[in-house]
Structure 1
Amino acid sequence: MILMSTTIIDEQAHEAEIAAIKQVVAVVEHSQNNELPDEFVGLFRADAIWTTGGGKRLFGRDAISTFTHQVLPGGMQGSTVSFEVEHVLFIRPDVAAVKVRQVYQTSDGPEVGTPLFVMAKEDGQWRLTACQNTSVLDD
């Protein structure tokens, strides 16, 4: 019988959680670049909070859905966005604060943002719970 140390198992579990969180962020990128509001909204908890890059505060998945369905179709015309997970802070094993680097490529040049996604793991899946999108003035 081969026994693995608890440290190795914990490290592997930790890396698996980070990979799952990065996958959620990749779906955010995919849904925005492909203007898929339902895919985007499906990442949120029902009671999620979202503050847009323009400062609009949205409470609950229904409000996030209404807003997203108004702005996303056509909203990416002539631009693309990329997201990179910069840092993950596990507040608890099932709650993480995720700092993201966001770069919109537009005809006017890149616009950099730094969203903070607080995620909660529910039923084995990471969900966006409380999110704030913020511009970067100097990068």
Structure 2
Amino acid sequence: MQKSGAEMTERPTVYQVPADEQDVRELEQLVAQIEIGFNRKDAAVLDGRFTADAVLVVPDGTVLHGWDDLFTYHTARLAGPIKDWTTRVNVLAVLPLRPDIAVVHLRQDTSTPQETFSNRGTIVAVKKDNSWWISAMHNTNVA
């Protein structure tokens, strides 16, 4: 009889810690581009390091598939409802799965003319041709 997940006593570990210092610096720079693009209202910079087939879940739960959809979404948002907002994005942790794949946890603190709020996010980053790219990202509001 096969044991259920709750009964398993040995579970695999998947994260390769500690993270390589150079990779951490490069991933922090990747995340910094999100902040720079947001604050400049420049979707090309904001979305510049997303893969062509990236998947993004935005705070309201909308799922965007592919760079074209992501760029169209951010172009409209940055010129419209969030044009007066600013944000600060900080990497909380880099957890490598393999030398070319890492999970990045982040915090985003955003100010609007009316309020300040925080989001938490998770990025799946992949290294292709010695450059890090965002293949998936989830961003959710913190209550």
2:94 matched to 1:79?
no
Query: C-alpha distance in 1, partners of 2:29/2:92?
Result: 14
Aligned partner of residue 54 in structure 1, secondary structure: coil
Match of 1:113 among 106, 119, 127: 119
2:1 matched to 1:28?
no
- CA 1:24/1:75 → structure 2, altered by over 3 Å: closer, same or farther? farther
CA RMSD of aligned residues (A): 1.5
Query: C-alpha distance in 1, partners of 2:47/2:26?
Result: 18
Query: C-alpha distance in 1, partners of 2:66/2:72?
Result: 10
| TM-score w.r.t. length of structure 1 | 0.84
Query: C-alpha distance in 2, partners of 1:106/1:64?
Result: 22
Contact kept in structure 2, 1:47 and 1:60, CA below 8 Å: yes
Match of 1:131 among 109, 125, 137: 137
Query: C-alpha distance in 2, partners of 1:34/1:75?
Result: 15
2:44 matched to 1:44?
no
Identity across matched positions, percent? 31
The count of corresponding residues between Structure 1 and Structure 2 is: 126
- Amino acid across the alignment from 1:83: V
Contact kept in structure 1, 2:31 and 2:91, CA below 8 Å: yes
Match of 1:103 in 2: 109
**Runs of 5+ unmatched residues, structure 2:** 1-17
Match of 1:8 in 2: none
Aligned partner of residue 79 in structure 2, secondary structure: coil
Query: C-alpha distance in 2, partners of 1:96/1:15?
Result: 13
Deviation, 1:74, is: 4.0
Query: C-alpha distance in 2, partners of 1:60/1:26?
Result: 21
**Runs of 5+ unmatched residues, structure 1:** 1-10
| TM-score w.r.t. length of structure 2 | 0.82
- 1:71-130 CA-to-partner distances (Å, cap 9, x unmatched) read 112444332100010011101111111000100012333200001111101111111111
Query: C-alpha distance in 2, partners of 1:96/1:82?
Result: 21
